Amino acid sequence: MTQQKQHSLLNRSAEACNMLKKHIDNNHIIRIVSHNDADGISAAGVVANAIKEEQGQFHITLVPRLNMDVLSDLRKEDYEIFMFLDMGSAFLKQLNNFKSDIIIADHHQPEDFNPDKHIIHVNPHLFGIDGSKELSGAGSAYLCIRDLDKKHLAHFALSGAFGDMQYHNKFVGMNELILKDALESGILEIHEGLKIQSKSTEILYKSLAYTFKPVLPGLTGDPEKSKSFLEKRGVSYGIKFADLEGEEQDILKDELIKINPKIFSDIYTMPKDSPYLRDLEDFSDILDACGKSKKYSLAISLALGERGEALDAALNIRENYRLQLLKGMELIRNEGAVQLDNIQYVYSEDSVIKKIMGTIISIGLSAGILDSNKPVFGLSRLHKDIKISGRTTHEMVNKGVNLAKALKDCSSNFSGQGGGHDVAAGAMIPYSTKDEFLHLLDEQITYQLNSD
Protein backbone atom coordinates (compact mmCIF):
# COMPACT_ATOMS: atom_id res chain seq x y z
CA MET A 1 0.00 0.00 0.00
CA THR A 2 2.82 2.40 0.90
CA GLN A 3 4.55 1.80 -2.45
CA GLN A 4 1.26 2.37 -4.26
CA LYS A 5 0.79 5.72 -2.49
CA GLN A 6 4.32 6.76 -3.34
CA HIS A 7 3.86 5.67 -6.94
CA SER A 8 0.70 7.78 -7.23
CA LEU A 9 2.51 10.82 -5.81
CA LEU A 10 5.39 10.30 -8.24
CA ASN A 11 2.94 10.11 -11.15
CA ARG A 12 1.42 13.46 -10.10
CA SER A 13 4.92 14.90 -9.77
CA ALA A 14 5.75 13.70 -13.28
CA GLU A 15 2.74 15.63 -14.59
CA ALA A 16 4.09 18.76 -12.90
CA CYS A 17 7.54 18.13 -14.36
CA ASN A 18 6.07 17.84 -17.86
CA MET A 19 4.19 21.11 -17.43
CA LEU A 20 7.31 22.86 -16.16
CA LYS A 21 9.45 21.49 -19.02
CA LYS A 22 6.88 22.68 -21.58
CA HIS A 23 7.09 26.24 -20.30
CA ILE A 24 10.89 26.16 -20.13
CA ASP A 25 11.03 24.94 -23.74
CA ASN A 26 8.68 27.78 -24.73
CA ASN A 27 11.06 30.31 -23.13
CA HIS A 28 8.48 31.35 -20.54
CA ILE A 29 9.75 32.87 -17.32
CA ILE A 30 8.84 30.56 -14.43
CA ARG A 31 7.28 32.66 -11.66
CA ILE A 32 8.25 31.07 -8.33
CA VAL A 33 6.61 32.02 -5.03
CA SER A 34 7.93 30.26 -1.94
CA HIS A 35 8.02 30.40 1.85
CA ASN A 36 10.82 32.31 3.57
CA ASP A 37 12.00 29.55 5.93
CA ALA A 38 14.65 26.85 5.37
CA ASP A 39 12.13 24.54 3.73
CA GLY A 40 10.75 27.18 1.40
CA ILE A 41 14.17 28.52 0.43
CA SER A 42 15.42 24.99 -0.22
CA ALA A 43 12.33 24.42 -2.36
CA ALA A 44 13.02 27.58 -4.37
CA GLY A 45 16.66 26.55 -4.64
CA VAL A 46 16.00 23.10 -6.04
CA VAL A 47 13.55 24.39 -8.67
CA ALA A 48 15.64 27.43 -9.63
CA ASN A 49 18.79 25.33 -10.08
CA ALA A 50 16.89 22.84 -12.22
CA ILE A 51 15.48 25.61 -14.43
CA LYS A 52 18.92 27.23 -14.71
CA GLU A 53 20.48 23.93 -15.80
CA GLU A 54 17.76 23.60 -18.46
CA GLN A 55 18.67 27.08 -19.78
CA GLY A 56 15.36 28.46 -18.52
CA GLN A 57 14.46 31.70 -16.77
CA PHE A 58 12.81 32.30 -13.41
CA HIS A 59 11.65 35.06 -11.09
CA ILE A 60 11.55 34.21 -7.36
CA THR A 61 9.70 35.87 -4.52
CA LEU A 62 9.94 34.65 -0.92
CA VAL A 63 7.08 35.54 1.41
CA PRO A 64 6.45 34.85 5.13
CA ARG A 65 2.92 33.71 4.37
CA LEU A 66 0.47 33.45 1.49
CA ASN A 67 -2.58 35.65 1.95
CA MET A 68 -5.21 37.44 -0.10
CA ASP A 69 -3.09 40.57 -0.54
CA VAL A 70 -0.18 38.56 -1.96
CA LEU A 71 -2.52 36.63 -4.25
CA SER A 72 -4.18 39.84 -5.44
CA ASP A 73 -0.80 41.30 -6.42
CA LEU A 74 0.26 38.11 -8.18
CA ARG A 75 -2.91 37.96 -10.25
CA LYS A 76 -1.92 41.29 -11.80
CA GLU A 77 1.38 39.84 -13.04
CA ASP A 78 1.65 38.63 -16.62
CA TYR A 79 3.24 35.16 -16.48
CA GLU A 80 2.34 31.97 -18.31
CA ILE A 81 3.10 29.79 -15.27
CA PHE A 82 3.31 30.18 -11.50
CA MET A 83 4.92 27.73 -9.07
CA PHE A 84 3.86 27.91 -5.43
CA LEU A 85 6.36 26.09 -3.23
CA ASP A 86 5.87 25.09 0.41
CA MET A 87 2.53 26.92 0.21
CA GLY A 88 -0.62 27.13 -1.87
CA SER A 89 -2.60 24.07 -0.76
CA ALA A 90 -4.77 26.18 1.52
CA PHE A 91 -5.71 28.58 -1.33
CA LEU A 92 -6.88 26.23 -4.06
CA LYS A 93 -10.16 28.10 -4.66
CA GLN A 94 -8.41 31.44 -5.09
CA LEU A 95 -5.65 30.01 -7.28
CA ASN A 96 -8.24 28.30 -9.44
CA ASN A 97 -9.24 31.77 -10.66
CA PHE A 98 -5.78 32.42 -12.10
CA LYS A 99 -5.66 32.15 -15.89
CA SER A 100 -2.05 30.94 -15.96
CA ASP A 101 -0.85 27.39 -15.48
CA ILE A 102 0.00 26.66 -11.85
CA ILE A 103 2.10 24.06 -10.09
CA ILE A 104 1.63 23.76 -6.34
CA ALA A 105 4.36 21.80 -4.56
CA ASP A 106 3.33 21.81 -0.93
CA HIS A 107 3.11 19.49 2.08
CA HIS A 108 0.67 21.29 4.36
CA GLN A 109 -2.83 19.98 4.92
CA PRO A 110 -4.84 21.04 1.82
CA GLU A 111 -8.33 22.47 1.65
CA ASP A 112 -11.02 20.17 0.29
CA PHE A 113 -11.31 21.46 -3.29
CA ASN A 114 -10.62 19.95 -6.71
CA PRO A 115 -8.99 22.58 -8.93
CA ASP A 116 -9.28 22.76 -12.71
CA LYS A 117 -6.75 21.16 -15.07
CA HIS A 118 -4.53 24.25 -15.30
CA ILE A 119 -3.45 23.51 -11.72
CA ILE A 120 -1.24 20.52 -10.91
CA HIS A 121 -1.29 19.97 -7.17
CA VAL A 122 1.62 17.97 -5.73
CA ASN A 123 0.99 17.29 -2.05
CA PRO A 124 1.66 14.07 -0.09
CA HIS A 125 -1.59 14.38 1.88
CA LEU A 126 -3.56 13.86 -1.34
CA PHE A 127 -2.15 10.34 -1.51
CA GLY A 128 -2.35 9.38 2.17
CA ILE A 129 1.28 10.30 2.91
CA ASP A 130 2.05 12.32 6.05
CA GLY A 131 3.42 15.72 5.05
CA SER A 132 4.65 16.49 8.55
CA LYS A 133 6.96 13.44 8.72
CA GLU A 134 7.55 11.95 5.27
CA LEU A 135 7.94 14.84 2.83
CA SER A 136 8.79 18.53 3.14
CA GLY A 137 7.86 21.40 0.86
CA ALA A 138 11.33 21.19 -0.66
CA GLY A 139 10.76 17.46 -1.10
CA SER A 140 7.56 18.11 -3.05
CA ALA A 141 9.42 20.68 -5.14
CA TYR A 142 12.25 18.22 -5.83
CA LEU A 143 9.78 15.60 -7.03
CA CYS A 144 8.53 18.13 -9.58
CA ILE A 145 11.97 18.35 -11.22
CA ARG A 146 13.24 14.82 -10.49
CA ASP A 147 12.33 13.49 -13.96
CA LEU A 148 14.67 16.06 -15.53
CA ASP A 149 17.53 13.84 -14.28
CA LYS A 150 18.27 16.03 -11.26
CA LYS A 151 19.29 13.60 -8.51
CA HIS A 152 22.31 15.80 -7.81
CA LEU A 153 19.84 18.40 -6.47
CA ALA A 154 18.16 15.98 -4.04
CA HIS A 155 20.13 17.35 -1.09
CA PHE A 156 17.99 20.51 -1.23
CA ALA A 157 14.95 18.40 -0.39
CA LEU A 158 16.74 17.00 2.66
CA SER A 159 17.84 20.49 3.69
CA GLY A 160 14.16 21.43 3.68
CA ALA A 161 13.28 18.32 5.67
CA PHE A 162 15.88 19.21 8.30
CA GLY A 163 14.49 22.74 8.48
CA ASP A 164 10.99 21.37 8.88
CA MET A 165 12.04 19.09 11.78
CA GLN A 166 11.33 15.90 9.80
CA TYR A 167 14.51 14.12 10.84
CA HIS A 168 14.11 11.87 13.89
CA ASN A 169 17.19 9.61 13.93
CA LYS A 170 16.44 8.78 10.30
CA PHE A 171 14.46 9.88 7.26
CA VAL A 172 11.26 7.97 6.52
CA GLY A 173 8.76 7.65 3.70
CA MET A 174 9.40 9.77 0.62
CA ASN A 175 12.31 11.45 2.39
CA GLU A 176 14.05 8.08 2.45
CA LEU A 177 13.56 7.69 -1.31
CA ILE A 178 15.00 11.17 -1.83
CA LEU A 179 17.95 10.32 0.40
CA LYS A 180 18.76 7.39 -1.90
CA ASP A 181 18.77 9.80 -4.85
CA ALA A 182 21.17 12.14 -3.04
CA LEU A 183 23.54 9.31 -2.15
CA GLU A 184 23.47 7.90 -5.69
CA SER A 185 24.38 11.33 -7.07
CA GLY A 186 27.61 11.39 -5.03
CA ILE A 187 26.88 14.89 -3.71
CA LEU A 188 25.97 13.64 -0.23
CA GLU A 189 27.74 11.36 2.22
CA ILE A 190 26.74 9.96 5.63
CA HIS A 191 28.91 9.21 8.62
CA GLU A 192 28.35 8.88 12.37
CA GLY A 193 29.38 11.68 14.70
CA LEU A 194 28.35 14.28 17.25
CA LYS A 195 25.53 16.46 15.93
CA ILE A 196 26.72 19.61 17.67
CA GLN A 197 26.37 22.82 15.68
CA SER A 198 29.23 24.13 13.57
CA LYS A 199 31.76 21.88 15.29
CA SER A 200 34.37 22.48 12.60
CA THR A 201 34.05 26.26 12.61
CA GLU A 202 32.77 27.43 16.05
CA ILE A 203 34.48 27.41 19.45
CA LEU A 204 33.20 24.56 21.54
CA TYR A 205 31.12 26.15 24.29
CA LYS A 206 29.24 28.21 21.71
CA SER A 207 28.83 25.13 19.55
CA LEU A 208 27.03 23.38 22.43
CA ALA A 209 24.88 26.42 23.26
CA TYR A 210 23.88 26.72 19.58
CA THR A 211 22.87 23.05 19.33
CA PHE A 212 19.09 23.23 18.90
CA LYS A 213 18.53 20.02 16.90
CA PRO A 214 18.71 17.77 18.83
CA VAL A 215 18.57 19.83 22.01
CA LEU A 216 20.97 19.40 24.92
CA PRO A 217 18.77 20.18 27.95
CA GLY A 218 20.64 22.48 30.32
CA LEU A 219 23.16 23.50 27.65
CA THR A 220 21.15 24.51 24.58
CA GLY A 221 20.65 28.26 24.55
CA ASP A 222 22.98 28.89 27.52
CA PRO A 223 26.66 29.69 26.70
CA GLU A 224 27.67 30.11 30.35
CA LYS A 225 26.31 26.72 31.41
CA SER A 226 27.93 25.16 28.36
CA LYS A 227 31.29 26.66 29.34
CA SER A 228 30.88 25.47 32.93
CA PHE A 229 29.89 21.98 31.75
CA LEU A 230 33.10 21.68 29.72
CA GLU A 231 35.30 23.12 32.48
CA LYS A 232 34.02 20.61 35.05
CA ARG A 233 34.90 17.75 32.72
CA GLY A 234 38.35 19.01 31.89
CA VAL A 235 37.52 19.65 28.25
CA SER A 236 38.98 22.72 26.51
CA TYR A 237 36.06 25.06 25.84
CA GLY A 238 37.77 27.84 23.89
CA ILE A 239 38.77 25.85 20.80
CA LYS A 240 36.85 24.04 18.06
CA PHE A 241 35.73 20.46 18.55
CA ALA A 242 37.85 19.43 15.58
CA ASP A 243 40.95 20.76 17.40
CA LEU A 244 40.39 18.75 20.62
CA GLU A 245 42.70 15.89 21.48
CA GLY A 246 41.20 12.47 20.76
CA GLU A 247 40.79 11.72 24.46
CA GLU A 248 38.89 14.96 25.03
CA GLN A 249 36.62 14.22 22.07
CA ASP A 250 35.81 10.82 23.55
CA ILE A 251 35.07 12.29 26.99
CA LEU A 252 32.77 14.91 25.46
CA LYS A 253 30.98 12.34 23.33
CA ASP A 254 30.28 10.11 26.33
CA GLU A 255 29.06 13.02 28.47
CA LEU A 256 26.78 14.46 25.78
CA ILE A 257 25.25 11.06 25.05
CA LYS A 258 24.24 10.93 28.74
CA ILE A 259 22.30 14.18 28.23
CA ASN A 260 20.69 13.17 24.94
CA PRO A 261 21.55 9.89 23.16
CA LYS A 262 20.37 11.41 19.87
CA ILE A 263 23.39 13.72 19.87
CA PHE A 264 25.51 10.91 18.38
CA SER A 265 23.92 9.97 15.10
CA ASP A 266 24.24 10.09 11.33
CA ILE A 267 25.66 13.30 9.91
CA TYR A 268 24.89 14.29 6.33
CA THR A 269 27.69 16.11 4.57
CA MET A 270 28.51 17.61 1.17
CA PRO A 271 32.32 17.17 1.16
CA LYS A 272 32.94 19.42 -1.84
CA ASP A 273 31.23 22.48 -0.34
CA SER A 274 32.62 25.16 1.97
CA PRO A 275 33.45 23.96 5.52
CA TYR A 276 30.70 26.29 6.77
CA LEU A 277 28.09 24.63 4.55
CA ARG A 278 29.45 21.10 4.38
CA ASP A 279 27.10 19.80 7.08
CA LEU A 280 23.66 19.75 5.49
CA GLU A 281 22.03 20.83 8.76
CA ASP A 282 24.34 23.86 8.94
CA PHE A 283 23.38 24.69 5.35
CA SER A 284 19.70 24.46 6.30
CA ASP A 285 20.20 26.65 9.38
CA ILE A 286 22.02 29.34 7.42
CA LEU A 287 19.25 29.48 4.82
CA ASP A 288 16.71 29.72 7.64
CA ALA A 289 18.60 32.55 9.36
CA CYS A 290 18.74 34.52 6.08
CA GLY A 291 15.04 33.97 5.47
CA LYS A 292 13.93 34.87 9.00
CA SER A 293 16.14 37.98 8.78
CA LYS A 294 14.44 38.94 5.49
CA LYS A 295 17.70 38.71 3.53
CA TYR A 296 15.91 36.94 0.71
CA SER A 297 18.29 37.78 -2.14
CA LEU A 298 21.19 36.50 -0.08
CA ALA A 299 19.37 33.26 0.72
CA ILE A 300 18.62 32.63 -2.95
CA SER A 301 22.20 33.49 -3.92
CA LEU A 302 23.52 30.83 -1.53
CA ALA A 303 21.00 28.32 -2.84
CA LEU A 304 22.19 29.05 -6.38
CA GLY A 305 25.79 28.35 -5.42
CA GLU A 306 27.31 31.75 -4.66
CA ARG A 307 29.97 31.68 -1.92
CA GLY A 308 32.71 34.23 -1.09
CA GLU A 309 31.22 37.54 0.05
CA ALA A 310 27.70 36.10 0.01
CA LEU A 311 28.73 33.35 2.43
CA ASP A 312 30.54 35.82 4.70
CA ALA A 313 27.41 37.96 4.88
CA ALA A 314 25.23 34.93 5.55
CA LEU A 315 27.47 33.76 8.39
CA ASN A 316 27.17 37.17 10.07
CA ILE A 317 23.40 36.97 9.74
CA ARG A 318 23.40 33.45 11.19
CA GLU A 319 25.45 34.64 14.18
CA ASN A 320 23.00 37.48 14.87
CA TYR A 321 20.10 35.07 14.46
CA ARG A 322 21.62 32.68 16.98
CA LEU A 323 21.99 35.52 19.47
CA GLN A 324 18.31 36.32 18.94
CA LEU A 325 17.44 32.69 19.68
CA LEU A 326 19.45 32.88 22.92
CA LYS A 327 17.44 35.95 23.88
CA GLY A 328 14.22 34.05 23.16
CA MET A 329 15.36 31.07 25.21
CA GLU A 330 16.11 33.39 28.11
CA LEU A 331 12.59 34.82 27.84
CA ILE A 332 10.84 31.48 28.13
CA ARG A 333 13.23 30.27 30.84
CA ASN A 334 12.49 33.34 32.94
CA GLU A 335 8.80 33.88 32.19
CA GLY A 336 7.54 30.49 31.03
CA ALA A 337 4.15 30.24 29.33
CA VAL A 338 0.65 31.26 30.38
CA GLN A 339 -1.28 28.10 31.25
CA LEU A 340 -4.88 27.39 30.24
CA ASP A 341 -6.67 24.05 30.71
CA ASN A 342 -5.16 22.21 27.74
CA ILE A 343 -2.96 24.76 26.00
CA GLN A 344 -0.19 27.15 26.94
CA TYR A 345 0.90 30.32 25.22
CA VAL A 346 3.73 32.83 25.05
CA TYR A 347 2.94 36.43 24.06
CA SER A 348 5.41 39.07 22.95
CA GLU A 349 5.49 42.44 21.25
CA ASP A 350 9.32 42.46 21.22
CA SER A 351 10.53 43.23 17.69
CA VAL A 352 13.20 40.51 17.85
CA ILE A 353 11.25 37.77 19.59
CA LYS A 354 8.19 37.96 17.37
CA LYS A 355 10.25 37.24 14.23
CA ILE A 356 11.40 33.90 15.62
CA MET A 357 8.55 32.93 17.93
CA GLY A 358 7.83 29.62 16.21
CA THR A 359 11.46 28.52 16.50
CA ILE A 360 11.67 29.59 20.15
CA ILE A 361 8.63 27.62 21.26
CA SER A 362 9.79 24.58 19.27
CA ILE A 363 13.12 24.62 21.07
CA GLY A 364 11.37 25.30 24.39
CA LEU A 365 9.25 22.17 23.96
CA SER A 366 12.21 20.02 22.91
CA ALA A 367 14.42 21.30 25.75
CA GLY A 368 11.78 20.66 28.41
CA ILE A 369 11.45 24.34 29.31
CA LEU A 370 7.81 24.29 28.21
CA ASP A 371 5.31 21.58 29.19
CA SER A 372 5.35 18.92 26.47
CA ASN A 373 1.93 17.66 27.63
CA LYS A 374 0.21 20.76 26.26
CA PRO A 375 0.38 22.33 22.79
CA VAL A 376 2.15 25.68 22.94
CA PHE A 377 1.17 28.75 20.96
CA GLY A 378 3.44 31.71 20.35
CA LEU A 379 1.56 34.99 19.87
CA SER A 380 3.30 37.93 18.21
CA ARG A 381 1.55 41.26 17.75
CA LEU A 382 1.83 42.77 14.28
CA HIS A 383 0.05 46.15 14.38
CA LYS A 384 -3.69 45.33 14.40
CA ASP A 385 -3.16 41.58 14.01
CA ILE A 386 -1.63 38.72 15.93
CA LYS A 387 0.50 36.07 14.27
CA ILE A 388 0.13 32.68 15.94
CA SER A 389 2.64 29.84 15.78
CA GLY A 390 1.51 26.51 17.19
CA ARG A 391 3.74 23.59 18.13
CA THR A 392 3.15 20.26 19.83
CA THR A 393 4.74 16.82 20.05
CA HIS A 394 4.02 13.70 18.01
CA GLU A 395 2.88 12.08 21.27
CA MET A 396 0.14 14.71 21.58
CA VAL A 397 -0.80 14.20 17.92
CA ASN A 398 -1.21 10.50 18.67
CA LYS A 399 -3.65 11.50 21.43
CA GLY A 400 -5.80 13.38 18.91
CA VAL A 401 -4.31 16.88 18.64
CA ASN A 402 -4.37 18.43 15.16
CA LEU A 403 -3.02 21.99 15.28
CA ALA A 404 -3.75 22.73 11.62
CA LYS A 405 -7.45 21.93 12.06
CA ALA A 406 -7.68 23.73 15.40
CA LEU A 407 -6.07 26.93 14.14
CA LYS A 408 -7.96 26.91 10.85
CA ASP A 409 -11.36 26.37 12.51
CA CYS A 410 -10.80 28.80 15.38
CA SER A 411 -9.27 31.61 13.31
CA SER A 412 -12.14 31.46 10.80
CA ASN A 413 -14.49 32.44 13.64
CA PHE A 414 -12.65 35.74 13.96
CA SER A 415 -12.15 36.68 10.29
CA GLY A 416 -8.69 35.15 10.38
CA GLN A 417 -6.97 32.30 8.59
CA GLY A 418 -4.86 29.36 9.67
CA GLY A 419 -3.48 25.97 8.71
CA GLY A 420 -0.33 23.87 8.45
CA HIS A 421 0.40 20.45 9.96
CA ASP A 422 -1.05 18.46 12.83
CA VAL A 423 2.19 18.94 14.80
CA ALA A 424 3.01 22.52 13.70
CA ALA A 425 0.70 25.18 12.33
CA GLY A 426 0.06 28.90 12.18
CA ALA A 427 -2.69 31.49 12.01
CA MET A 428 -3.40 35.21 11.81
CA ILE A 429 -6.24 36.91 13.71
CA PRO A 430 -7.23 40.48 14.63
CA TYR A 431 -5.53 41.63 17.85
CA SER A 432 -8.88 42.64 19.38
CA THR A 433 -10.04 38.99 19.36
CA LYS A 434 -6.99 37.60 21.22
CA ASP A 435 -8.65 36.55 24.50
CA GLU A 436 -11.78 35.12 22.86
CA PHE A 437 -9.62 33.25 20.37
CA LEU A 438 -7.47 31.67 23.08
CA HIS A 439 -10.56 30.57 24.98
CA LEU A 440 -12.03 28.96 21.86
CA LEU A 441 -8.68 27.37 20.96
CA ASP A 442 -8.40 25.85 24.44
CA GLU A 443 -11.90 24.41 24.04
CA GLN A 444 -11.04 23.03 20.59
CA ILE A 445 -7.88 21.26 21.83
CA THR A 446 -9.82 19.90 24.80
CA TYR A 447 -12.43 18.55 22.37
CA GLN A 448 -9.74 16.93 20.21
CA LEU A 449 -8.19 15.22 23.22
CA ASN A 450 -11.55 13.90 24.43
CA SER A 451 -12.79 12.69 21.04
CA ASP A 452 -12.59 9.01 20.18
> pLDDT digit string (tens) for 155-173?
999 999 999 989 988 999 9
The pLDDT of 412-441, averaged and rounded, is 94
33-42 pLDDT, tens digit each:
999 999 999 9
> In this structure, are residues 105 and 16 in contact, taking their beta carbons and an 8 Å threshold?
yes
Query: Residue 52 — very low, low, confident or very high, per pLDDT cuts 50/70/90?
Result: very high
> In this structure, are residues 160 and 38 in contact, taking their beta carbons and an 8 Å threshold?
yes
The pLDDT of 364-385, averaged and rounded, is 93
Contacts of 352 (CB under 8 A, 6+ apart): 324, 327, 328
Query: Residue 310 — very low, low, confident or very high, per pLDDT cuts 50/70/90?
Result: very high
Q: What percent of the chain has pLDDT over 70?
A: 100
Cα gap 144→125, rounded to integer Å: 16
291-308 pLDDT, tens digit each:
999 999 999 999 999 999
Mean of per-residue pLDDT scores for the chain: 95
Tell me the domains of the chain and their CATH numbers. Answer: 2-182 (3.90.1640.30), 192-328 (no CATH), 336-450 (3.10.310.40)
Phi-psi group of 368: left, alpha or beta (phi > 0 → left; psi -120 to 50 → alpha; rest → beta): left
Helices (H), 350-402: 357-366, 394-398
Query: Residue 382 — very low, low, confident or very high, per pLDDT cuts 50/70/90?
Result: confident
Query: Residue 187 — very low, low, confident or very high, per pLDDT cuts 50/70/90?
Result: very high
pLDDT value of position 452: 62
- Helix then strand then coil, % of the chain, to nearest 5: 50, 15, 35
Query: Residue 213 — very low, low, confident or very high, per pLDDT cuts 50/70/90?
Result: confident
Helices (H), 101-238: 137-145, 154-163, 174-185, 204-209, 223-232
Higher pLDDT, 99 or 1: 99
Residue 199 has pLDDT above 90, yes or no: no
Backbone Cα Rg of the chain: 21
Query: Residue 72 — very low, low, confident or very high, per pLDDT cuts 50/70/90?
Result: very high
Bridge pairing between strands 376-382 and 29-35: unpaired
- DSSP category for residue 243: G
Residue 271 has pLDDT above 90, yes or no: yes
- DSSP per residue over 12-78, as a string? HHHHHHHHHHHHHHTT-EEEEEEESSHHHHHHHHHHHHHHHHTT-EEEEEEES---HHHHHHHHTS-
pLDDT value of position 354: 85
Coil, strand or helix at 390: strand
pLDDT value of position 2: 84
This prediction has a pTM of 0.91
Q: What are phi and psi of 43, to 5 degrees?
A: -65, -45
Going from the C-alpha of 240 to that of each of 206, 277, 441, the distances in angstroms are 9, 16, 46
pLDDT value of position 296: 97
pLDDT value of position 183: 98
Cα gap 30→335, rounded to integer Å: 47
| DSSP bridge pairs for 417 | 428
Contacts of 23 (CB under 8 A, 6+ apart): 30, 56, 80, 81, 101
